[in-house]
Amino acid sequence: MPENVALELKQYSDFTKILLFNRGITTGAAAEKFLNPDYERDIYDPFLILNMERAVERIIRAVDADEKIVVYGDYDCDGIPGSVVLHDFFKKIGYKNFSNYIPHRHIEGYGLNNPAIESFAKDGVKLIITVDLAIANVDEVALAESLGINVIITDHHLPQEVLPPAYAIVNSKQAGDTYPDNMLCGGGVAWKLVQALLKTRGKEWGVPEGWEKWLLDMAGLSTIADMVPLVNENRVIAHYGLKVMRKSPRPGFQKLLRKMRVEQTTLTEDDVAFMIAPRINAASRMDIPIEAFSLLSTSDETVADELSDHLHNLNDTRKGLVAGMMKEAKKRVEERGVKDIIVIGNPNWKPGVIGLIAGKLVEEYGRPAFVWGREDSEHIKGSCRSDGTVNLVELMAAVEEGFFLNIGGHEFSGGFSVTHEKIHFLEEELLKAHKKVKKVTALPSGEMIDCVLTIDDVTEANYKTIEKLSPYGVGNPKPAFLFNNVVIKEVSKFGKDKNHLKLIFENSKGIKIPAIGFFMDAKDHKVPVEAGATINLIATIERSLFMRRPEIRLRIIDIV
């Protein structure tokens, strides 16, 4: 670490300095802001977002005139919590002439759709507010406006060359926007809209100052689940979002946590990302997404109990379905041989879960993966994931024009649709396109090592230092450490199916330090993993509260 950086961070321990430096934090002011998020200091004025004033003016006008409003949200664990934010806002100000709409993933697809808009027009709707979608829905927004429905788009996806003719677009990624953080998620943008509305009219509506903080449980859930960078304002939203989630009185949220045996008061970002978000997403992947919205927005204990049970069971069904599909996919990939791009599918596979399969295939084989399926549709629908070597949108755009019915997505994640006739040529066309597009060297799969530690360093004090830098996620990875030449004292398996690995080490005081690896086997590694063996271990340090017994332990990343 450079001397000038060490001097800037002189009030912190050497361990803290290393962790901060590895995250690009090199000044005292930046360290203070990062380690101690402050709501008043770090949450930006919502009116700095382009068109926010116009959007607020139109919503207030609709409320004053008692116009019918539809909040139209995406079906994932960004759009759904973001839709709850606006639902709770309208309830709080006593406005009744509104409804929430979440499109059916398999029947209506992503974004605004014309049949829904036409039904809104017949129902007398005058204003649509979108959450986490519509930045690319040029034709659909034009239809709504032609039918006398104004559209306010709140979204965070990258705007296309032609913008929809909406009444107002609130998206800090659009040209001309100078908002200090253009990486908010959809739910975060919706929360900023509510913040702006309350700043303008909150006192007249009788809403206590600062009430919007109670909505940070949903904004925080969206922010963590949607894997936006947890830096800048997102870090503050996630930080306070977790604080509110730990106190949230929402019956559905509480009951879902109980079903998962997650302690609400000690909820972490890992619980959100790996436990809560998959169950919210299970509603759209497997069933009706509005049920996930209802779970998070209901105040009825009975409804909350039924829906939490339903979503929990749906997720279990989803896991079983994905496991079966993955087994079939791997068998077929290995029979055919691994090519530059993996293309695989089955008309019986549900489009709602094929993205999960694509991601797992990328992890398994280190190749871009295109996976397709079909459900109640005349066309084949697919999802794709990149291994980091190629931009998927560029790759699909390089395929012969007219081959795809639709393509969309981001650099590393996307979707597509093709006809039944052309699906047989998808692999051939993608392999040809792959030769034409620019490739980069994939990032190494190993995590960055923050520093080398010893087993004696696995302490409560060091864990508290690590915890201070949370919440962790994209842009702020969980610190990983190398433990050189450590001797394994015990090896065992745990879990219902005995498919998780547990190692025991001893520090210099004879205290046992456990290390666990989920879905890991001693045979998975190139070196012997057995009692008495000396290994190099890459791991994170965490606190387990299993069975409410606090324990500092290691989470295994790799054994070398």
Q: Please check whether residues 381 and 503 belong to one and the same domain.
A: no
Q: Please check whether residues 56 and 105 belong to one and the same domain.
A: yes
Bridge partners, 256 (sequence order)? none
Average the pLDDT over 93-108 and give the result: 94
Average the pLDDT over 296-302 and give the result: 97
Q: Please check whether residues 141 and 169 belong to one and the same domain.
A: yes
pLDDT surpasses 80 at 232: yes
pLDDT surpasses 50 at 138: yes
pLDDT band of 496, cuts 50, 70, 90:
confident
pLDDT band of 52, cuts 50, 70, 90:
very high
Q: Where is pLDDT greater, at 227 or 411? A: 227
Average the pLDDT over 465-478 and give the result: 94
pTM of this structure: 0.90
Q: Tell me if 333 sits within 8 A of 342, measured CB to CB.
A: yes
pLDDT band of 210, cuts 50, 70, 90:
very high
pLDDT surpasses 70 at 61: yes
pLDDT surpasses 50 at 444: no
Ranges 138-152, 167-181, 187-201, 377-391: which has the least confidence: 377-391
Residue 221 lies in a domain: no
Q: Where is pLDDT greater, at 231 or 442? A: 231
Residue 92 lies in a domain: yes
Bridge partners, 513 (sequence order)? 505
Q: 3-state class of 382 per DSSP?
A: strand
| pLDDT score recorded for residue 443 | 45
> Using CA of residue 174, residue 179, residue 184, residue 188, what is the dihedral sign?
negative
Say how many domains are in the chain. Answer: 4
Query: What is the CATH number for 144?
Result: 3.90.1640.30
Q: Tell me if 120 sits within 8 A of 149, measured CB to CB.
A: yes
pLDDT surpasses 90 at 158: no
pLDDT surpasses 60 at 447: no
Q: Tell me if 329 sits within 8 A of 361, measured CB to CB.
A: yes
| pLDDT score recorded for residue 547 | 67
d(CA 371, CA 394) in angstroms, rounded, equals: 18
Residue 314 lies in a domain: no
Q: Please check whether residues 423 and 512 belong to one and the same domain.
A: no
Query: What is the CATH number for 506?
Result: 2.40.50.460
Q: Please check whether residues 424 and 471 belong to one and the same domain.
A: no
Q: What is the DSSP letter of 449?
A: P
pLDDT band of 442, cuts 50, 70, 90:
low
pLDDT surpasses 60 at 7: yes
pLDDT band of 415, cuts 50, 70, 90:
confident
Report the 3 state secondary structure along 78-134: CHHHHHHHHHHHHHHCCCCCEEEECCCCCCCCCCCCHHHHHHHHHCCEEEEEEECCC
Average the pLDDT over 532-541 and give the result: 96
Q: Please check whether residues 523 and 379 belong to one and the same domain.
A: no
Residue 275 lies in a domain: no
| pLDDT score recorded for residue 376 | 63
Average the pLDDT over 59-69 and give the result: 98
Q: Please check whether residues 412 and 497 belong to one and the same domain.
A: no
Q: Please check whether residues 407 and 461 belong to one and the same domain.
A: no
Domain boundary among 147, 180, 213: 213
pLDDT band of 122, cuts 50, 70, 90:
very high
Ranges 85-99, 159-173, 377-391: which has the least confidence: 377-391
Residue 323 lies in a domain: no
d(CA 70, CA 62) in angstroms, rounded, equals: 11
Domain boundary among 378, 411, 436: 436
- With vertex at residue 28, the alpha carbon angle to CA 25 and CA 32, rounded to the nearest 5 degrees, is 85
Q: Please check whether residues 150 and 206 belong to one and the same domain.
A: yes
Residue 223 lies in a domain: no
Domain that holds residue 78: 46-213
pLDDT band of 114, cuts 50, 70, 90:
very high
pLDDT surpasses 50 at 517: yes
Average the pLDDT over 475-494 and give the result: 94
Q: Please check whether residues 59 and 30 belong to one and the same domain.
A: no
**Long-range own/partner contacts, residues 39-42 (CB < 8 A, 24 or more apart):** 39/213, 39/236, 39/240, 42/233, 42/236
Query: What Rg, from alpha-carbon coordinates, does the chain have?
Result: 25
Q: Please check whether residues 203 and 68 belong to one and the same domain.
A: yes
| pLDDT score recorded for residue 441 | 63
Average the pLDDT over 284-298 and give the result: 94
- Indicate the burial class of 509 (C-beta count within 10 angstroms; 0-12, 13-18, 19 or more): exposed
Condensed to tens digits (0 to 9), the pLDDT of residues 358-410 reads 999 998 898 999 999 987 667 899 999 998 889 888 899 999 999 998 887 77
Residue 249 lies in a domain: no
Residue 269 lies in a domain: no
pLDDT band of 248, cuts 50, 70, 90:
very high
Q: Please check whether residues 10 and 102 belong to one and the same domain.
A: no
Average the pLDDT over 47-64 and give the result: 98
Domain boundary among 411, 436, 461: 436
